[in-house]
A and B are shown apart, each in its own frame.
Chain A
Amino acid sequence: MDRASRPVVAEFDAVHRHYRMGENVVRALDGVSVRIHQGDYFAIMGRSGSGKSTMLNILGCLDRPTAGRYLVGGRDVSQLDDDALSEVRGREIGFIFQSFNLIPQLTVLENLEVPLFYQGRVGAESRRKAEHLAERVGLGKRLEHKPLELSGGQQQRVAIARALMNDPLFLLADEATGNLDSNTEQEILALFDDLRRDGVTIVVVTHNQKVADRAEFTLWLRDGRVERLDDNRRPAEAAP
């Protein structure tokens, strides 16, 4: 399907995020506008201090813009209160972190159920879903294991499965392969490619050119502004 005809899942409309540091104002984001359509595979790159983390936090509804609008699935969330933002995170966003961030005292199954628990949706169905997703990331036999009994790559697979539990509008991955060796990195990236083929929207923040190269678009940030937006699609693919 034509990209333009797919719905916009996340939209930055002149988003600013300023930090006041005494007399100075740090413009971590300084008027960023971008549209992410359903099924897009986006990489956000830039030098250290360019605003990547800030953008990720706002994309993930962990933070709010100081000016401008941010729309998730067409809904303006830039003015929502803490509870409402939690709700949006829980329903619409799937987080994948650099350090996996599984909860150590919980089993794989229980970790997978956490996102649904906060929506009061834990039960037989959530269990089936967890089993299904664990199967999909290749960990169907590890449901009763604790995270620390798994390798880094396996933990990150669990984290990916967890991010998919709530059928999010998009996945948000923060240096998802930063803690993995290059073989494992390739496996995870291949899994992303798989998900992408199934229509999952993916946004990755990364330093790593190899990671960014797998994405369709690379958004380059510099000093809180969009420096450029690269279209990495092969011409055949890009041409509608």
Chain B
Amino acid sequence: MIRDSWRIVKLGLKSLMLHKLRSSLTTAGILFGVASVIAMLAVGEGASQQALEQYRDMGVTNVLVRSVRPEETQQSSSNMWSVLDYGITYAEADRIQNLLPQSQVVRVREVQRGVMRGEAFRVTVVVGTQPEFLEVSNMKLAEGRWLTDLDLRNQENVCVLGHSLARLLFPLENPIDQTILAGTEDRFRVVGVLAAQGRAAGPNGTTYDECAFVPLTSSRRRFGDTIRNLTTNRFELTELHEVKVKLASSDQVEGAATVLREMLRPAHQTRGDTEITVPLELLQQEEESKRMFNIVLAVIASISLLVGGIGIMNVMLATVTERTREIGIRRALGAKKKHVVQQFLVEAAVLSALGGLVGVALGMVVPRVITARFDVKTVVLPEHVLLAFCISAAVGVVFGIYPAWRAANMDPVEALRHE
């Protein structure tokens, strides 16, 4: 049985070899169809995975409320010394905790400062926050300890360094118990170093790996509520830059998001100085848009495979006509109609599967090239490759049906007389 099948496949190959150029040109349609589908899927999958990862890192049970610097009007920006007052307040954070008693509410202040240690210097964000931050942000400690309630109560001048910041400031030494200088006068003792996060998540384009973390109370005491923005050179009064709300489970997220939106609307809607981010919603949107992308892709793939399939049908019809005599001979030697159908179907399937095979190879190389050239993440999923290949073989079978049927229904006497 298997040997017979192999024999039929071998026969198909031999017959295709009779017209090498024609066969190769015919497979080109399938080849490029399969290759482009795999490549496009890889790019789509890469982008989607990246987005999903990012949203998952934000925490699917979290709702994030951020302060947003409002668009400055001409009037307000004309006065260099006026204070820009915006964002979410301590009082609001407390109200959030009251409205959502089951949730963990983490207050975050972000102050931009030049951080220095000896010769090493880096402008970064000093994040003032609470002990719960670590868990809510799903981050890990590498060395030393994290901030404690006691640190907050005593407004200790201690800090925990992000992984790459620690590397930068302390390339050789152990940073624990060393002192860093933030700005011109504020010294903090390093008590811990975070594990590398390797994530994009973080304040204003700075990753948490590059930040220093201090107790919320110390941040307020050392830096004050009014901070000069180093970029715009304006004084800004912002109590909190972010409030992270972690819900007990992801099905509470939607309700909590609604509550927060309602709560913040009166004070902030007109100024537009807060922004609620719901990673779960983003995640769902991303999945939705990925589904759309896949549908579009499926349509494109269908069209290209349709074109490839028509090419195969065309060539198979020509083959059947050319080999009318062979069909007659085989029928005379005892081939039933089903044998003839089988032979030409296999030949069509082999033709398109060969195209599919080369297409798969090409489709796996192209994403690598894209990644190397354009620094775009691409992911080739094995199931996509398998799917594309199987579809290409199926195209051969489907578009080979009619030619094979024609071959099988030839009158043997006529076929034998054919020149």
List the interface of chain A (C-beta within 8 A of B).
57, 60, 62-63, 82-83, 86-87, 89-91, 95, 97, 101, 103-106, 114-115, 117-120, 122-123, 162, 166
User: Chain B interface mostly helix, strand, loop or mixed?
Assistant: helix
B7 within 8 A of A: yes
- Within 269-320 of B, Cβ neighbours of A (below 8 Å) are at none
B339 within 8 A of A: yes
B333 near A118 with CB under 8 A, answer yes
- Within 13-31 of B, Cβ neighbours of A (below 8 Å) are at 14-15, 17-18
Given the complex of chains A and B, what is the CA–CA distance between A97 and B329 in angstroms?
Answer: 9
Given the complex of chains A and B, what is the CA–CA distance between A24 and B7 in angstroms?
Answer: 47
Pairs A–B under 8 Å by Cβ, sample size 14: A62-B413, A83-B338, A87-B336, A89-B331, A91-B334, A95-B332, A97-B416, A101-B325, A104-B18, A105-B14, A105-B18, A117-B7, A118-B336, A162-B333
* Residues of chain B within 8 A of A101, CB atoms compared: 325, 328-329, 332, 416
- Within the complex, the shortest CB–CB distance from B338 to chain A, in Å, comes to 8
- Within 324-375 of B, Cβ neighbours of A (below 8 Å) are at 325-326, 328-339
B3 within 8 A of A: yes
- Within the complex, the shortest CB–CB distance from A52 to chain B, in Å, comes to 13
- Within the complex, the shortest CB–CB distance from A4 to chain B, in Å, comes to 31
B413 near A120 with CB under 8 A, answer no
Given the complex of chains A and B, what is the CA–CA distance between A31 and B333 in angstroms?
Answer: 28
B114 within 8 A of A: no
A95 near B336 with CB under 8 A, answer no
B331 near A86 with CB under 8 A, answer yes
A89 near B416 with CB under 8 A, answer no
Given the complex of chains A and B, what is the CA–CA distance between A108 and B116 in angstroms?
Answer: 86
* Residues of chain A within 8 A of B15, CB atoms compared: 105
B412 within 8 A of A: yes
Known: A62-B331, A118-B330. 4 other contacts (CB 8 A): A90-B334, A97-B329, A103-B326, A119-B334
- Within 220-274 of B, Cβ neighbours of A (below 8 Å) are at none
* Residues of chain A within 8 A of B338, CB atoms compared: 83
Chain B residues with a Cβ closer than 8 Å to the other chain, count = 25
Contact A86-B416, Cβ < 8 Å, known A114-B330, A117-B4? no
* Residues of chain A within 8 A of B4, CB atoms compared: 117, 120, 122
Q: Which one of A62, A104, A122 has the highest number of Cβ atoms from chain B below 10 Å of its Cβ?
A: A62
Given the complex of chains A and B, what is the CA–CA distance between A101 and B335 in angstroms?
Answer: 15
- Within the complex, the shortest CB–CB distance from A155 to chain B, in Å, comes to 13
Contact A122-B3, Cβ < 8 Å, known A82-B336, A90-B333, A91-B334? yes
- Within the complex, the shortest CB–CB distance from A100 to chain B, in Å, comes to 10
- Within the complex, the shortest CB–CB distance from A101 to chain B, in Å, comes to 5
B416 near A122 with CB under 8 A, answer no
Given the complex of chains A and B, what is the CA–CA distance between A60 and B332 in angstroms?
Answer: 8
Contact A87-B329, Cβ < 8 Å, known A117-B7, A122-B3? no
Contact A63-B337, Cβ < 8 Å, known A95-B332, A105-B15, A105-B18? no
* Residues of chain B within 8 A of A97, CB atoms compared: 329, 416
* Residues of chain A within 8 A of B328, CB atoms compared: 101
